[in-house]
Amino acid sequence: MSRALSRNQLKGLIKEITKLYPASYADSSWDNTGLLIDCSTLQSDVQKPKVLLTIDLTAAVAQEAVNHGCNLIMSYHPFIFPSWKRISPWSNPQHQSAVKLIQHGISVYCPHTAIDAAKDGVNAWLASSLVHDQSLIDSSVSIEKVSPVQGEQDFEVGYGRVVKLRSQISLQSVIESLKASLGIETVQCAVKQTLSEFQVQTVALCAGSGSGVFKNLKDDVDLYLTGEMSHHEILRLREMGKAVVVCNHSNTERGFLKSVMVQQLSKAGIDCVVSTEDSDPLTYV
């Protein structure tokens, strides 16, 4: 039986989602965001829509949505990226998942960089993950600006963040706070001096892949935090006396779903669950 929402039901959900993560904040120059699969119908028997939250829409996540009777998947990363010229389910597993979702009437919405730039989005959460005691944060300012549409201050919205702490703290304590907040056991760290001796007061951070955002950085900082960065970029920063911490791309994003997003959407009246099948594709062995 199809789980398709009515057109009005789906529009109502997206309206609430975009109040939190305005569509105009997404970087349309390269990102593929918005309603990527629309299975809505004129009328629907669905009484209470259910949304599955995930970072990546894999085959396992698609099946999870079917099993849980979900009507919409909100996938942080775009499911269709960069583009598809045809749908070939027998040769492409992603296309197979798309066919399955359409057959079950499950729509897909992908906000990605709109969440990155939002005032209370993933980068704001990542900034709060630097320290256990939030009173230690003196300021948090976006690196790459977007035009505010909901009355925010310019510095509150945009890609990446520069965080200034009220006093120096050890890099080791930052790492321990990050691991606890992100729910991971290990990070990768590059630092020229002894880890236990390195002190941090300023941080440039960007969830996911930070290289493009860091090119717009005008501040001198002690620590660069992101999900992934190239070997030569890390080497250059370490030689400059900076510290670099990388956590794997989606590890800098996934914790936001449980810590922040599910509460934001629930407060907006949306019945949602966080995927238990979603995980970073890379593991340490």
Q: Report whether 152 belongs to an annotated binding site.
A: no
Buried b (16+ CB within 10 A) or exposed e, 180-219: ebbebeebebbbeeeeeebebbbbbbbbbbbeebbeebee
Which residues, in sequence order, are CB contacts of 175 under 8 Å at separation 6+? 187, 189, 245
3-class secondary structure, 177: helix
Q: Report whether 253 belongs to an annotated binding site.
A: yes
The tokens 């510290």 sit on which residue?
A: 243
Q: Report whether 116 belongs to an annotated binding site.
A: yes
The tokens 């717009």 sit on which residue?
A: 216
82 upstream amide cis, omega within 30 of 0: yes
Greatest alpha-carbon pair distance for the chain in Å reads: 64
Q: Report whether 77 belongs to an annotated binding site.
A: yes
Contact 23, 33 (CB under 8 A): yes
Contact 248, 261 (CB under 8 A): no
Residue 49's nearest CA partner among 92, 3, 118 is: 3
Q: CA dist 164 to 99, 126, 138, 161, Å?
A: 47, 14, 5, 10
Strands lying side by side in the sheet with 199-209: 137-145, 158-170, 199-209, 223-228, 243-246, 188-190
Known binding positions for a divalent metal cation:
77, 116, 249, 253
Known binding positions:
77, 116, 249, 253
